[in-house]
Structure 1
Amino acid sequence: MNHPPHTGTATARCVATHSVLTLDARHPYVSKSLIDAHDMHRTVMSGFQGWVDDGSRDARAQMGVLSTWALDLKAAALVLVVQSKVAADWAHIPKAALREAPHLITVDRTYRTGDTVGFRTVVNPTYSKPRTGPDGQKMRGQRVAHTKPDGVRKWCARLFGTWESPGRIGAAAEPDTISVRMLPTVSSPAPHKGLKVVRAELRGTLTVTDPTAFVAALSDGIGHARAYSCGLILTR
């Protein structure tokens, strides 16, 4: 990727806390979360009781809560990473469900224009499918998920862009260099019947083009289904 030399003049700082939980996938508390996306959401949010008023519709966004998880079936271990703007308390999780004590990490990193970072994220890649009404008039598009890697790469091209044509998150990547792996769809039974979240794992390298926008993407997440463990960007 060709771009101007790194001048170090534009910077932005990202501060957050990460909780890393290693859970026993065979424990009923955990296995329920694996088969019910809304239950996984409740597990994540259980670490943040009392920070906002009960019933707040945007509680997750207010506290900056984002999450991602990975399952090792051989080891029967679920590793859950939760990012937040406020401190988490995982005392509500049954001790028998934890393989080890939650690991809490303070993230404090400054990004500069031109920095390159390795990243991993799980996203819900969607696009708007055009629709027309019975009278032939255009209607609001229907949100549809990409289910193939090629479609996900097109989604990545719009999101990341390139140095010459920046995307929406303040970091650029060549779509062909991003590793795309389709993950199993997660869903939820009644009362959330019909909830299905198509997921894709992205790995690769990003070049920071706008540190302020990039830190906003790190803090707020990207794409849809952020309440269901999508959209958290992990960098290294």
Structure 2
Amino acid sequence: MFLTRFRINTARQGARPLLSSPQRMHAAVMSSFAGALPSDDNASRILWRLDRNARAEVLLFVVSEERPDLTHLVEQAGWPTTSTWQTYEYKTFLDGLTAGSTWAFRLTANPVHNVRRTPDEPLKRTAHRTPRHQMGWLLTHQEQAGFRILETPEERRRLQQGDEHQLTVRDEQRHQFGKTEAGTGRTNRVPLVTVTFDGRLEVTDPVALRRTLTLGLGKAKAYGCGLMTLAQAG
């Protein structure tokens, strides 16, 4: 497994369509792998995420079984003469995860649930709209995903009137794009709501967490969702 980091040059004209469209970015990421197509089975094994850090940098992270070649992205949206990308072996880090260890984490996800508005209506997948429900979505997935989000110390919660868990949700993005049905050829407008979670977790099941880190969490993985990364907890 590989973890790749690429810094996007937002001043480049070629960067703008990528940053505004999850479909275009998905196609660009898939083009980094020889023989891969956006619609094939490999798409489900390649995770990507866009991050914006405190220095106003925009970073693309990719987790994949194969080592990517991002030459086309450097030419389109990078610094061709001064900077490329960094790819790291991920297996050593994954194998080192142990139960009880604590980490800071970041995850961009598509928090959804199935609702039925009338008894006769089929279930429909709908995005959670409020931060409280979006946090609740992640909390319901944590056990199966191999981690436990840490609770906020009672004293700090009382002084700051904070949340029960060390978890924040931010940067909600709403997109709409066309998707063609394979059977009918019809093109439907598909809504996509994404949010970014930051928090602290404890590893409860290293095997399950390794699966989460390499296969993703939740829906819409092709569109920049599901990739969780860990960092040393401060």
- Normalising by structure 2, report the TM-score: 0.78
Relative to 1, partners in 2 of residues 1:37 and 1:92: Cα closer, same or farther, differing over 3 Å? Answer: same
What are structure 1's unaligned runs of at least 5 residues?
1-15, 161-166
Counterpart of 1:169, as a letter, is: A
List runs of 5+ in structure 2 lacking aligned partners. Answer: 152-163, 181-186
Task: State whether structure 2 residue 165 is matched by structure 1 residue 180.
Answer: no
Residue equivalent to 1:6: none
User: Kindly tell me: are residues 79 and 85 of structure 1, through their superposed partners in 2, closer, same or farther at Cα, counting changes over 3 Å?
Assistant: same
- Higher helix content, 1 or 2: 2
Q: What's the CA shift string for 1:187-208, capped at 9, x where partnerless?
A: 3368776233211111111111
Q: Could you say if the C-alpha distance between residues 142 and 155 of structure 1 is closer, same or farther in structure 2, counting changes exceeding 3 Å?
A: same
The code of the aligned residue for 2:146 comes to G
Task: Tell me the residue number matched to 1:128.
Answer: 114
What residue identity is the alignment partner of 1:115?
Answer: S
Secondary structure of 1:38's aligned partner: helix
Q: Say whether the 8 Å CA contact 1:149–1:182 is kept in structure 2.
A: no
Of the three residues 24, 27, 32, the one matched with 1:42 is 27
Classify 1:169/1:80 alpha carbon distance in 2 versus 1 (closer, same or farther; 3 Å).
same
Give the Å deviation of 1:94.
Answer: 5.0
Contact 1:36 1:187 survives alignment (8 Å)? no
- How many residue pairs were aligned? 206
Aligned residue for 2:72, secondary structure, equals: coil
- Over the aligned positions, Cα root-mean-square deviation in angstroms equals 2.4
CA contact (8 A) 1:159 1:168 kept: yes
1:222-233 aligned within 5 A: 222-233=217-228
More strand by share: 1
Offset, 1:214: 1.0
Paired residue for 2:155? Answer: none
